[in-house]
Amino acid sequence: MTEGQIEKLFQQYPEFNIQESIKKGWEFFKTQPLNSVAFSLLIFTIQGLSTFYLDNYSLLISILISPSLTAGYFLVANRISRGVEVEFSSYFEGFSYWGIVIVTSLISGILTFFGILALVLPGIYLAVAFMFGIPFALFSGRDFWFSLELSRRLITMNWWKFFGFVLVLVGINIVGIIFFFVGLLITIPVSYYAIYAVFEELTADALAEPKGIPEVE
């Protein structure tokens, strides 16, 4: 991502429609319903097995594996948006970005944790502000710190709107929990797809230039 692209990114106020973003996330899900549910089930299974059978290493496994799995949702959403064929293996392409995705997730988690320890509110601010950290790490071609800073700067411009967006996503997943947790197999991928939909909407003009979103085949 060039300096010119970065300048363009912040030329416009980051406005978006929450309802339309959720709807777009749902549309992405409907494109790959079985793969989305199967991938979410696999994530739950990995987390469950590590918790019950590898309790002493569950946190380490989460740190080393979960970020790349999460990245898979964003990469698949990008494929769907571009009209590129999606296979179940496409969800594991986050491991191609293993290093930067892990560091981005780890640093954002640590900063958010210390923010919560400080006065709670800074932690809440950072939790929302770093929402695009992994997408920027995947699609901007910049390092983890620059990706987190891009996310923070962009979201801070309209932080309360993003906070409301997060609350809506939390509410949707609470509904998924109410339905015996099975609903989470749907609401979690829809949530990640919706986040990508907002990210794409706000960064499309900047990343559309040469050296923009890299092809992920």
163-199: pLDDT as tens digits: 999 999 999 999 999 987 789 999 999 999 999 999 9
Give per-residue pLDDT as tens, 80-135: 999 999 999 999 999 999 999 999 999 999 999 999 998 899 999 999 999 999 99
Whole-angstrom Cα distance, residue 19 to residue 33? 20
Whether 15 has a pLDDT exceeding 70, the answer reads yes
Q: Cα–Cα distance between 151 and 147 in angstroms, integer?
A: 6
Domain range annotation of the chain: 28-204
pTM for the model stands at: 0.92
Q: Which of 103, 111, 146 is nearest to 127 (CA)?
A: 111
Contacts of 17 by beta carbon, 8 Å cutoff, 6+ apart: none
Amino acid at site 201: E
Q: At 11, is the pLDDT very low, low, confident or very high (cuts 50, 70, 90)?
A: confident
Amino acid sitting at position 15: E
* Cβ atoms 147, 111 nearer than 8 A: no
Q: Are 31 and 80 in contact (CB under 8 A)?
A: yes
